Structure 1
Amino acid sequence: MLLLLDVLCLAGVLWCAWLIAGLLRGEAPLATGVAVPVAAALVLPGFIAGIVTNRRALRGRRPQSWFIREVWAPPVELPRWALAAAGVAVLAFWVAGISAFAGISENPRPGDQAQDRQVRHEQRFALGVLGGVGVGGTATAAATLIRDRRSRSPY
């Protein structure tokens, strides 16, 4: 099940990247009401699964709080090149989302063209956030899958 959620999360990342590329070219491939919910539906389950499955039991010294038995751990099982690629992808989505703020204004100029431009910037921001979240979810779920495979391996 985690593998399926990881693949869906990766599909959501590619979906966001494709839509952002179209928005940067000045065209809106899909309406915001379709593009953003589909991206969220693809990305969020894998992100949640990656976060939930990357918990580790505390070892060694007893925790000071009786209710803290597990902590979240970063995806250290991934190779360094994969972590670096994930970092670059998160940065790219972050830049795409944050740079959309430059075009968002509180009072857009009257006219359909200005309104369309405003909607494209808002869509790019939402897709940038979801794309970055999807990269994180894909990385954490992949790290869990690698850790599980290593723990089951007889070697």
Structure 2
Amino acid sequence: MLLLLDVMCAAGVLFSAVLIGGLLAGTRLLPTAVAIIVTMVLVLPGFTAGVITNRRTVRGRQPQSGWVRSVWSPPELPRWGIVVTGLVFLAFWAAGMSAFTGLSQDDLPPGDTAAQERQVSHQQRFGLGVLGGIGTGGTALAAGALVRNRRSVRTGERQMAAR
């Protein structure tokens, strides 16, 4: 199930990137509501699964607070995976934040449909940039959990073979 959610999250990141690319090229491929809702449906389950699966039960020395039973751990990805994740996240962040330059309701002249279309495109780009960044993190978190699970299965197989 985690693999399916990770693939969905990665598909949401790709979907968001294609839509942002279209917006930067001057073409809005989908209406804003459809683009945002589809991206959310693809990204948020994988992000949630990635966060949940990277929680670990506290073992060994107990934390100072008695109510803390689990802690979040960073994903166990190779360095190149973490670097790629950071660069993709930075690209989505830049796309989303650069949309702020065109967001201003006060500057819109009444009846200027071209300005209103640009405004909607900037709003869509901001929303997709945020969701793309969340999806990038979710994909990395879920992939890290999958890598950790695969390593633990291999380690368990080796321990069983050694017995």
TM-score by length of structure 2 reads 0.92
1:20 is displaced (CA, Å) by 0.1
Q: Which position in structure 2 is the counterpart of 1:18?
A: 18
**Alignment correspondent of 1:37:** 37
Paired residue type of 1:78: L
Identify the residue that residue 60 of structure 1 maps to in structure 2. Answer: 60
CA shift at 1:60, angstroms?
Answer: 2.7
Distance in 2, Cα, partners of 1:4 & 1:26: 33
2:130 aligns with 129
Aligned-pair distance for 1:96?
0.1
Which runs of 5 or more structure 2 residues have no equivalent in the other structure?
A: 159-163
Match of 2:161 in 1: none
What's 2:98 paired with? 99
Aligned equivalent of 2:49: 49
Alignment partner, residue 114 of structure 1: 115
String of CA shifts for 1:29-75, please: whole Å, max 9, x gaps. 00001100000000000000000010012233221211101101111
- Report the 3-state secondary structure (helix = DSSP H, G, I; strand = E; otherwise coil) of the residue aligned with 1:50: helix
Aligned residues: 154
State which structure, 1 or 2, has the greater radius of gyration over its C-alpha atoms: 2
Single out whichever of 51-60 and 143-152 deviates more from structure 2: 51-60
Return the TM-score normalized by structure 1: 0.97
> Alpha-carbon deviations, 1:7-41, whole Å to 9, x = none?
00000000000000000011100000110000000
**Distance in 2 between the 1:26 and 1:147 partners?**
42
CA shift, 1:109, in A, is: 2.4
4+ residue runs of structure 1 moved beyond 2 angstroms?
A: none
1:87 and 2:74 equivalent? Answer: no
Structure 1 residues 12-21 or 58-67, which shifts more?
58-67
2-side partners of 1:62 and 1:152: how far apart? 26
- Structure 1 gap ranges (5+): none
Partner of 2:115, secondary structure, is helix
- What is the Cα deviation at residue 146 of structure 1? 0.7
